[in-house]
Structure formats: C-alpha cells, structure tokens
Amino acid sequence: MIDFRSDTVTRPTPEMREAMASAEVGDDVYGDDPTVNSLQAYAAERLGFEAALFTATGTQANLLAIMSHCGRGDEYLCGQSAHNYKYEGGGAAVLGSVQPQPIENEPDGSIDLEKARAAIKADDFHFAVTRLLSLENTIGGKVLPLDYQAQARAFCDEHGLLLHLDGARIFNAAVKSNCDVTEITRHYDSVSVCLSKGLGAPVGSLLLGSESFIKRATRLRKMVGGGMRQAGILAAAGRIALEKGPLRLLEDHENAEYLSNGLAKIPELEVNPASTQTNIVYARCKAGQASQLKDYLAEQGILITAGDPIRFVTHQDVSREDVDTLLTAIRQFYPS
C-alpha cells in the first residue's frame, strides 16, 4: 500500500526498532527513565527552551499547554481552523474550562493581529479573561512568515498575553523558512511538537517551555492519564526522530511540489501549485468524484482521504516513484 492520507502513517525505521529494543528504561512517573530524561533535555536544548515534557500525543501537548497557561474561566485566542480548536474534541473547554475565542484565519494561515486585538476582552466581570494567543505553524501545510511571528510576539507583549505555538510540523516550517528551528521558537512561551508525523516516530510529542510551565504541565499530564511508566521504549524512537527526522523533510517537500505540479496538469483537477509549501498538497475534483477516485485508487493499492479538497501528504514512506504511481493511476481514472 502507498499511503498519502497523512504523515502520521510512517512506520518506525529499523534503527528506531533497534533503539527501542535496547533502550534503558525506568519508571518515568518517578522521573527514573533515563531515555525519557535524555530526550527531554536534548529537546529543550535543541528548541531553545528551559525544559521539555514527553507526551503521548500532540493533542495532549496542546491541552497541557492551554491548561498550564490558562485557568478556569480564562480564554485563548486561536484560528477558526486551528487544530487545537477544531480537531481536539474541544478538550481545552471540556477538561480545562478554558473558553476558545476563534478568529477566522487569513488565507496564509495567520491570524490578523487587528482582529485579535478586537477580540481581547476588556477588564469587566461580564467577560472571560483573555490570557493566551495560540498560533499554528505549519497550518494546512502553509508556513507562517518569520516577521509575522515576531509581530505576534510584540502584540502579545503589548497586551500582556502569553503566546503558544502548535508546532506539530514546526520542522517542516523551519526547513521551508530555511532557518534553524530556534528562529521560530524564540518568539513563543511554549511550543508543542509532534515526533510521530514527518519526523517518523511511532508515538509521542513534546511540549516545551519554561521550567515552571513544564512543572505545571507535568502535574496536568498525570491528571489526564498521561503519566507513562517505561516510556523510554517510545522516547528512544523519538530521539532518533528528533535528531534525524528534520534532515529528510526537504525530500518530502520536493515530492509534494512534484506531485502538485503533476496534479496541476490533470484538467479534471483544480490545484494551485503555489500553495504547496511543505509536505501537504490540496486538490479539488472539479466534477466532485473524490470518493469514486478514492475507491479507484484503493483498488490499485493507493490510499488517500477523499475530502473536498482532497489532501495528499508526503512522508518518509512514499518515494518519488510512489508519487509517479499515484499520478499515473489518477490519469487512468480520468481517461481522455
């Protein structure tokens, strides 16, 4: 099977499986797991923060971040299409009693800071207390400009807000921005990072921030059932993902660009190759046969998600040849 549904489908490499099999472990709830501790120390340094926490998922890392920054009755500003608003089961509201204040994302994925300013609540007991701005980079495969992120930092400082980044794919952003990841992270109070997407780990994410923030997040992680025991088995693969995963993301971006250009030549599809910035490609079936296309491709051993638009994601387990196989199969679906 060739799987374009997501970069979460990557399988651990032989090197990861080897490292998992031989990982030194301890009980991480006691702080005893040397492999988890070493991953957290390495990640903190690599991303330029005082401390890091290994979490089960990106969803958990975002939840811990929002709950560590905000209290009951506070609110966070976020994009209308933010993962931590739209795709995380409303966790911040359900579990944290933190109200989201979504703001329509701009076409480039940013949040207009004037709209954010207008959404900040006055100091009045009718209102929730606005505490946090949460951005996402990459968002829908698009990269937030570095100068926009600097402006967002200045905006938060001006208004006494904290600034969180859902950086599930932050290394894709760094590769595309052609900068070290710390050029992005330096603007934020906290960042979440998925090890289990393009970086290739089977399981796990990281939350990064100050010492005191990570201390609060660690308490909350236990509360939501995320205190794992011999988690070094997972952290061992996570370490390889964090060290080596970023080095091969450019290849995913090149494959996505190649796919995007190929799809753009198929008259029945609508693609804007200029909007393919990292490892995610969107294409719309003009005649709306996305689900028939999905079934047809599945018969050829190719998996896609049939949305409107269709989303194709490149990752370590799809090669340039696999992209050609996909393009050939789509051309066959539209005989002309």
Ligand X SMILES: *Cc1c(COP(=O)(O)O)cnc(C)c1O
User: What is the closest distance, in whole angstroms, from the C-beta atom of residue 205 to ligand X in the complex?
Assistant: 5
User: What is the closest distance, in whole angstroms, from the C-beta atom of residue 8 to ligand X in the complex?
Assistant: 6
168 is a contact residue toward ligand X (CB under 6 A): yes
| Identified binder of ligand X from the candidate list 69, 83, 176, 315, rule CB under 6 A | 83
Distances (CA, A) of 205 to 127, 218, 272, 284, 298: 33, 14, 31, 31, 30
170 is a contact residue toward ligand X (CB under 6 A): no
User: What is the closest distance, in whole angstroms, from the C-beta atom of residue 91 to ligand X in the complex?
Assistant: 10
Say if residues 165 and 185 touch (Cβ distance below 8 Å): yes
Place of tokens 């294409």: 283
Residue 287 burial (CB count, 10 A): 11
* Cβ-proximal residue to ligand X, closest one: 58
Q: How far apart are CA 188 and CA 159, in angstroms?
A: 15
- In terms of CB distance, is 84 or 293 closer to ligand X? 84
Query: In sequence order, what are the residues at sequence separation of 6 or more whose Cβ sits closer than 8 angstroms to the Cβ of residue 151?
Result: 113
81 is a contact residue toward ligand X (CB under 6 A): no
Query: In sequence order, what are the residues at sequence separation of 6 or more whose Cβ sits closer than 8 angstroms to the Cβ of residue 320?
Result: 255, 258
User: What is the closest distance, in whole angstroms, from the C-beta atom of residue 196 to ligand X in the complex?
Assistant: 6
Residues 36-65 interacting with ligand X (rule: CB under 6 A) = 57-59, 62
Say if residues 12 and 311 touch (Cβ distance below 8 Å): no
The encoded tokens of residue 200 equal: 């290739």
Distances (CA, A) of 324 to 286, 292, 300, 319: 22, 20, 13, 9
Q: For 126, how many CA atoms within 13 A lie in the half-sphere containing its CB?
A: 2
- In terms of CB distance, is 199 or 266 closer to ligand X? 199
Say if residues 101 and 155 touch (Cβ distance below 8 Å): no
- In terms of CB distance, is 62 or 130 closer to ligand X? 62
194 is a contact residue toward ligand X (CB under 6 A): yes
Taking the chain, what is the end-to-end CA distance rounded to the nearest angstrom? 27
User: What is the closest distance, in whole angstroms, from the C-beta atom of residue 324 to ligand X in the complex?
Assistant: 27
| Identified binder of ligand X from the candidate list 28, 33, 74, 166, rule CB under 6 A | 166
Three-state SS for 3?
strand
Q: How many residues bind ligand X (CB under 6 A)?
A: 11
User: What is the closest distance, in whole angstroms, from the C-beta atom of residue 103 to ligand X in the complex?
Assistant: 16
**Site map 211..230 versus ligand X, x via CB under 6 A:** --------------------
User: What is the closest distance, in whole angstroms, from the C-beta atom of residue 79 to ligand X in the complex?
Assistant: 10
- In terms of CB distance, is 57 or 289 closer to ligand X? 57
Residues 126-165 interacting with ligand X (rule: CB under 6 A) = 136
205 is a contact residue toward ligand X (CB under 6 A): yes
User: What is the closest distance, in whole angstroms, from the C-beta atom of residue 66 to ligand X in the complex?
Assistant: 12
Residue ranges in contact with ligand X by CB under 6 A: 57-59, 62, 83, 136, 166, 168, 194, 196, 205
